[in-house]
Structure 1
Amino acid sequence: MSIWTPKSPSLAPYASDPATSRGRLYPEASSPTRSPHQRDRDRVLHSAAFRRLKYKTQVFVNSVGENYRTRLTHSLEVSQIARSVSRVLGLNEDLAEALALAHDLGHTCFGHAGEDALKDCMAAYDGFDHNAQSLRIVTKLERRYAEFDGLNLTWETLEGLVKHNGPLIRPGEATLQDLPAAILEYVDRHDLELSSFAGPEAQVAALSDDIAYNAHDLDDGLRAGLFPLEAVIEVPLVGPLLRHVLDRYPGIEPSRAIHETVRRVITAMVDDVCAESARRLERQNPGSAAEVRALDAPVIAFSEEMAQKDAGLKGFLFPTLYRHYRVNRMTSKARRVVREMFGLLVEEPMLLPDDWRARTTRPHSHKTARVVCDYIAGMTDRFALDEHARLFDPSVKP
């Protein structure tokens, strides 16, 4: 007897209904206790790629300190926001959570510095894109199951993972052949409808990511001392909330003032997304997730006022945090580490561990470059630094 109830009465008409999921590339028997999207979430949680996020940079290299965000803690925070928004709007919380937890699986060691370095290294081959790498991980690189490579996630999760930032094919802008090789390879077998928007849960995950990294990068930057609390007084959204905290709690210690301000930033952005999205959904009145995908604009969004405040906060963080000289020094070292490893391993693939070497062909071939790229992209910050030392420092055991 099935314990799981296929249709949730709390789902809105435009939500992605697990009972009508388009299924998986490789058919599997349904679970008696979990919906298809609950199983997707659980497969992501149990994957090796998800565990490795614990030691992958968000902004600060992992070795800098244990109190700053990593890709893992960031993904957990995104999932909390995504579930909250989905619950308010009557969406499929399990699908939104699966997408939130999986959205950063393709990020490299050393954050955007590692990604930029791999993009440069792979420019002469098939290129590199962290969203495409996420798809590659969940459809090929995870090797856990006897009957297929990857995690065999549902169509809705794969579609949302690839398109959470919007359609990939747009008239007059991007064609199928402009897309990363990993996406082209997969959609040749399994159509993810790249010219339409993703379902509403994927749109929620994308905005939740934006909310989380803005607020938490602000938090980490303040706690790291890269800029003082007084510097944010004039920042859109943040400044008025900080002044409110300081007025309400005279003499409050800085660490508490930071937390009180950041949590208000998150609340303000979440409330705005919920209100604006509810207005858009009421106006468009979609009767299904498929109708959401067919619209010419997203239904999950900030209001125009909040979008401007969001842009203002990003404008503050870019020079003060992401381009701070201490961060620049870390990212410069990270880029050198990645480039040097890639160059050596593509030239001498026999230096790869046996299971990776077996997948290569001749030096500098496209296949060898892709294998080396997969190997480096999957590294944690710590492993990358250790592997670089093993490859280049004669005093370190290979």
Structure 2
Amino acid sequence: MMANDPARPTLMTRMIAAYKGEVRADELEAYRRAGGLVYTELEHAEELRLRLAQEGVNLWHGPQAASGQLLCTWNAFVLQTIGEQLLDADYTADPRTAGYVPPVTSQQVAACFDQVEGWVSRARQAAGNTRYLVETELQLPADLPEWAEADPCPLPHLHGMLAAARAIRQHAEVAFGVFEQSIADTHDHQPDLQRLRQLVAEAATAADYAEGLLKGNPQPSLHEAIEQRLQRSLELYYHVGQLIAMPTHIATYQGTAARSATTYESLNVNARDFDAWCLTDPQRRDFWKADPKARQAIKEMWEYDPDPAATLRIQAQIDAAFRDGLIVYAVNAAGKSLGSYYCCPFPAIYEVRRPVVIGGKRLRPMQQFTYEASAEEMESGGAFKRELIVANFKPTNQIDYCDPDGLHGD
């Protein structure tokens, strides 16, 4: 039990948290509780791993769906562990603000927790359907979410990363031991095994070195060096667990920094003759066309846009990525489309399947995003907004027509 219940912060807790610039973690705690089901899936996956080993099943040649279950469960476990350890380390460092965390910690935990459900869902699908192959859906091995940035990184955040690396390392080394014992034709896979041993050693070394630097009370000037090593270790362990589950990927594995992303920077657009509704979600376009306020909002958005070609170019990149299968319409756990974003121009919400750069922003698999174009900030002297919004989207009944003249404001 924590000294302060995160759901019921005292006045003193709120004051101290405000002084420290920390933000509430209520929502993160809700996702932590929901993600607790990861540990049941992990038990099932470890039982499966042992059973396959006892049966002499070599994962180079074994059932692909079983490999998919192991891989997806591993990813969910790593993400849940990083999120939990970051929260707990911050609460432990200052129990007075338990339930509040620095913005960098909040951003990182949210980025991890946001992906847990998707991986658990895929693990269960693989367990229930021998024909379900996650490798046809996502580029593997998948990368961790993008790291949140802070200068310097808070010390409790670093301790949380180290605690996560320790817990993940323990499971990775056990999984690797079972994996090695299950390979009867070791000679045929010796180069790949050696590569995997190398990655395990590299991940462990980075974590050990970071732990050495963390002893005592390191100066802020050392925080970045510690952070980089812990990031490296966690990224490697994330990949190692996936490669153990699907060893056929080892031969082509090029490291954590070698993953290329498709770009569409050279696309040409026609800014003179285009459909004013081209930014709107195609799945819901007819619905928005029938709304008089939406029609007026779309008309005014283009009237205020100082550079329609720039706006259209980003949409063209989105369309190209969609056609090429790098992104798809985002769906909920039941497989139902999330629909359109609530702000004008009511764009679609997408999920990334392959690394891609859109509008100069690198997007990673499992991320959800949408594209907002708006003249609303111009009313207060701001610029026309063209922004990719990366988030974990949720249903809402709100509608924002983003009218620069305030005709439809709240």
Under a length normalisation based on structure 1, what TM-score does the superposition of the two structures give?
A: 0.34
The one of the two structures with greater contact order (alpha-carbon pairs below 8 A, sep at least 6) is 1
Greater fraction of residues in strand: 2
Under a length normalisation based on structure 2, what TM-score does the superposition of the two structures give?
A: 0.33
